[in-house]
C-alpha cells in the first residue's frame, strides 16, 4: 500500500461535494443526471476511455469537463468523490486509484469482479478513513426502504422465509452467468432488509444452460439463514414473461412486493399459520391438534414516488459528511460477493450446500 494521503475533511454541510463520474456507457448517464440534480454535489468531470461517448452524454452546452484520463480527474483538488460506472472487471483498478488519491468512492454493483478484489477495496478505504459505498440501487427504492422498516422494525415477526423471482427474456451476457447478472439485486436486498443478527450462513445453487450459451441462463439459489429461515432466489434470462416478485414470510405477517404493479407494489398480509402446541407433545400430535390459520386484513402501504438513485446519491453525501458507513457500504458489497462466489462453487460442485465464512455474514 502506498503512503496514505490525509482523508479530505468533509466540506461544510452547505458546500457541495465535488464529484467525478467514471464510465459513460449505459449506467453512467444515470449517475451524471442524479449528481447534477443534487444540491449536495457539484459534478466536475465525466471520464470515459471513449471520450466521444462522454461528450455525447453531456451534450454541447455542458460545463462539466470531459477526459479519457483518470489521472487528470484524480489530480483535481476540487474532486472529493469519484463514482465508478465502468465494467465490473475494472472496478478494482479505477476505485483503488481513486482511494489512493484520497477520494471518497461510490462503486456500481457489483463492488468488484471477485471477493478478493472487493476486500482490497474495502481495506484500502478503511486504512484511509474514506467512504466506500456500493450502489445497490434497489435498496434505495421506496418499496425496499419500507420493507426494511417493516422487517427490521419487527412488524413481520421472526423472518421465516424469503422467496424472490427475477425472470424475463434477458440479455444473455458474454462474461457472466445469470446468477452474477441478476442475483446481486436480490442478495443486496436480502442483506439490506434482514434484521441485525439474521444472516445467510450457507448457500446452494443449481443452474442450467438450456440454449448452449456456455453459462447458466437459469439459476436457483437456496440460502440457509442463521435463525433457521430459508431464502430462495430464482433468476432466469429465458422466461417469456417478466416477474419481479418477492415474498417475505414472518411469524406475524407476510409481505408481497410486486415491483411490476405500480398501483400496489407492497401488500402486507395478516395471514399465516400458527402452531400453538405444548412442547411435550410429539410431532404428530402437534401437527394434528394445534395448527391454526390466521386470515386477517391485507394492507397496502402508501409509498412515496422518488427515484432510487436520487436517494442513493444523498446517502453517499451523508456518509461522506458524517463519516458513518453508508447503508450499502463496501462491507455489504463484500457480503454479496461472498455469497455469489460460494454460489458459483456450489454450481460447479453439483449444487452442494456451501457454508459461508464468519467474516462473510
Ligand atoms: N445499479 C444498477 O442497477 C446497474 C444497472 C446497470 C449497470 N450497472 C453497473 O454499472 C457498471 C457499468 O455498466 P454499463 O452497463 O454502464 O457498462 P457499459 O459497457 O455500457 O459502459 C461502461 C463504460 O465504461 C467505459 N470504461 C471502461 N473501462 C474504463 C476505464 N478504465 N476508465 C474509464 N472508462 C472506462 C467504457 O468505455 C464504457 O463507456 C457495471 O458495474 C454494471 O454492473 C448497475
Whether 23 is in the pocket of ligand 1, judged by its Cβ within 6 Å, is: yes
Asked if 150 and 195 touch (Cβ cutoff 8 Å), the reply is no
Residues 6+ apart with CB under 8 A from 346: 203, 204, 205, 352, 353, 354
Every domain range in the chain assigned CATH 3.30.360.10: 139-306+339-360
Per-residue burial over 274-291, b = 16 or more CB atoms within 10 Å of its CB, e = otherwise: eeebeeeeeeeebeeeee
| Cell reading at 109 | 454493483
Architecture of domain 17-130: 3-Layer(aba) Sandwich (3.40)
For the chain, where do the domains classified as CATH 3.40.50.720 start and end?
Answer: 17-130
Identify the pLDDT of residue 360.
65
Q: How far is it, in rounded angstroms, from Cα 315 to Cα 164?
A: 26
Core vs surface per residue 144-162: b (16+ CB within 10 A) or e: bbbbbebbbeeebeebbeb
The string of pLDDT tens digits covering residues 295-346 is: 888 999 999 999 999 999 999 999 999 999 999 999 999 999 999 999 999 9
Is residue 4 pLDDT above 60, yes or no?
no
* Structure confidence at residue 272 (pLDDT): 78
Rounded to an integer, what distance in angstroms lies between the CA atom of residue 88 and that of residue 25? 13
**Residues whose CB is less than 8 angstroms from the CB of residue 259 and which lie 6 or more positions away in sequence, other chains included:** 141, 143, 244, 245, 246, 265
Tell me what pLDDT residue 10 has: 56
CATH number of 139-306+339-360: 3.30.360.10
Q: Per-residue pLDDT for 100 more than 80?
A: yes
Share of the chain above pLDDT 70, in %: 92
Is residue 49 lining ligand 1, measured as CB closer than 6 Å?
yes
Average pLDDT over residues 261-279: 84
Q: Is the pLDDT of residue 278 over 70?
A: no
> What is the pLDDT, as a whole number, of residue 2?
44
Report pLDDT digits (tens) over 185-215.
Answer: 999 999 999 999 999 999 999 999 999 999 9
Spacing, Cα 195 to ligand 1 middle (Å): 32
The mean pLDDT of 37-41, rounded to a whole number, is 97
Q: For atom 33 of ligand 1, which residue has the closest CA?
A: 48
Determine the pLDDT at residue 142: 97
For a ligand 1 pocket test, name from 56, 69, 71, 85 the mutation site with the most ligand atoms within 8 angstroms of its C-beta. Answer: 85
What integer pLDDT is reported at residue 295 of this predicted model? Answer: 82
CA end-to-end distance (rounded Å), the chain: 27
Q: What is the pTM of this model?
A: 0.92
pLDDT: which is higher, 16 or 289: 16
Q: Which atom of ligand 1 is nearest to the CA of 50?
A: 37
Distance in angstroms (rounded) separating the CA atoms of residues 349 and 288: 40
Whose CA is closest to atom 34 on ligand 1?
Answer: 48
User: At residue 1, does pLDDT exceed 70?
Assistant: no
How many other CB atoms are there within 10 angstroms of residue 48's CB atom?
23
pLDDT at residue number 291: 77
Looking at every residue in the chain, the average pLDDT score rounds to: 93
Instruction: Return the best residue to mutate from 21, 24, 27 for the ligand 1 pocket (most ligand atoms within 8 A of CB).
Output: 27
The pLDDT of residue 277 is above 70: no
For ligand 1, atom 18, the nearest C-alpha belongs to 25
Residue in the structure block whose three cell numbers are 468531470? 45
Amino acid at each position: 500500500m502506498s503512503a496514505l494521503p490525509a482523508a479530505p475533511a468533509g466540506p461544510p454541510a452547505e458546500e457541495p461535494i465535488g464529484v467525478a463520474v467514471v464510465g459513460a456507457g449505459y449506467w453512467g448517464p444515470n449517475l451524471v443526471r442524479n449528481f447534477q440534480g443534487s444540491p449536495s454535489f457539484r459534478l466536475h468531470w465525466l471520464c470515459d476511455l471513449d471520450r466521444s461517448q462522454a461528450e455525447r452524454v453531456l451534450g454541447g452546452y455542458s460545463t462539466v469537463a470531459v477526459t479519457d484520463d483518470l489521472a487528470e480527474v484524480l489530480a483535481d483538488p476540487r474532486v472529493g468523490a469519484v463514482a465508478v460506472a465502468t465494467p465490473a472487471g475494472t472496478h478494482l483498478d479505477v476505485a483503488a486509484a481513486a482511494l489512493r488519491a484520497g477520494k471518497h468512492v461510490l462503486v456500481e454493483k457489483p463492488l468488484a469482479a471477485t471477493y478478493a478484489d472487493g476486500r482490497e477495496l474495502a481495506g484500502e478505504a478503511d486504512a484511509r478513513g474514506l467512504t466506500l459505498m456500493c450502489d445497490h440501487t434497489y435498496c434505495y427504492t421506496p418499496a425496499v426502504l419500507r420493507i426494511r422498516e417493516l422487517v427490521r422494525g419487527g412488524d413481520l415477526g421472526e423472518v421465516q422465509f424469503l422467496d424472490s423471482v427475477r425472470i424475463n427474456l434477458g440479455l444473455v451476457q458474454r462474461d457472466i452467468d445469470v446468477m452474477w447478472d441478476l442475483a446481486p439485486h436480490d442478495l443486496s436486498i436480502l442483506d439490506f432488509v434482514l434484521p441485525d443478527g439474521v444472516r445467510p450462513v450457507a448457500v446452494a445453487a443449481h443452474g442450467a444452460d438450456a440454449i448452449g450459451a456456455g453459462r447458466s441462463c437459469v439459476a436457483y439459489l437456496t440460502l440457509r439463514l442463521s435463525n433457521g429461515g430459508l431464502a430462495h432466489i430464482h433468476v432466469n434470462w429465458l422466461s417469456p414473461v417478466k416477474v419481479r416478485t418477492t415474498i417475505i414470510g414472518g411469524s406475524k405477517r407476510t409481505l408481497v412486493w410486486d415491483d411490476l404493479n405500480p398501483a400496489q407494489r407492497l401488500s402486507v398480509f395478516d395471514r399465516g399459520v400458527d402452531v400453538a402446541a405444548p412442547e411435550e407433545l410429539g410431532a404428530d400430535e402437534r401437527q394434528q391438534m394445534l395448527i391454526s390459520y390466521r386470515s386477517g386484513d391485507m394492507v397496502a402501504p402508501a409509498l412515496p414516488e422518488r427515484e432510487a438513485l436520487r436517494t442513493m446519491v444523498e446517502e453517499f453525501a451523508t456518509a461522506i459528511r458524517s463519516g458513518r458507513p453508508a447503508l450499502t457500504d463496501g462491507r455489504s458489497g463484500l457480503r454479496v460477493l461472498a455469497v455469489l462466489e460460494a454460489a458459483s462453487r456450489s454450481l460447479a460442485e453439483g449444487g452442494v450446500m456451501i457454508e459461508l465464512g464468519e467474516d462473510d455474514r
